[in-house]
Amino acid sequence: VLCVDTTFHPCFIVALTQIEEYATNRGMKIGGYYHANEYYTDTEVGAVATRIADKIAENCPNSCMLLVDNTKLSFLSTEVPFKSYLPTRSNERIDWKSCDKPSLQYGAKGLSIGPEIVKKQLHRSIIDMDCHYDDITLHWDNKAIDEVVKLFVEGLTS
């Protein structure tokens, strides 16, 4: 899990370069990007989100972009709370086309992970790149959160 401030400035470029190096050293690739707009009713993919996704798609042609639909983030929601987009290329330009309704690996049970994570307030312990730059002892890889999510997933599969 990686969180960054989405203003596209040199710190973001440095952060993305660090992340790419981190992934490459572990035999991984950045395969996608998710974006959550600041305002509840904003459901549009903005220019900054598109530029970030474009940069990822340059290195991973089969990447995807997810846009969190804030209006579907609710403990009562039974809908997938994001829209998915895939890149299409034309004349050296990348356009992002909306996909069919995304599916979850664990179906309706998978929707229960989000509210549980919110109840446990895990979002308060996310370390983003700004936190890391302020205090380099804090690491942006958020391994502790990954471990908790793995436990939730194990609970879904058992």
- Provide the 8-state DSSP code for 125: G
Averages of pLDDT over runs of 10 residues in the chain (158 residues) are 55 81 88 87 88 87 88 73 88 86 66 72 79 86 79 72
Taking the CA atoms of residue 62, residue 112, residue 120 and residue 53 in that order, the dihedral angle to the nearest 10 degrees is 20
Sheet of 32-36: strand order equals: 32-36, 64-68, 82-90, 93-98
3-state helix, strand, coil in the chain (%, to 5): 45, 15, 40
In this structure, the strands spanning 32-36 and 82-90 are: unpaired
Tokens of 67: 């846009």
Return the H-helix or E-strand segment holding 108.
helix 107-110
pLDDT at 111: 67
Give dist(CA 56, CA 39) in Å, integer: 25
Per-residue pLDDT tens over the stretch 53-91: 998 898 888 899 989 888 887 666 677 788 889 999 888
pLDDT at 6: 52
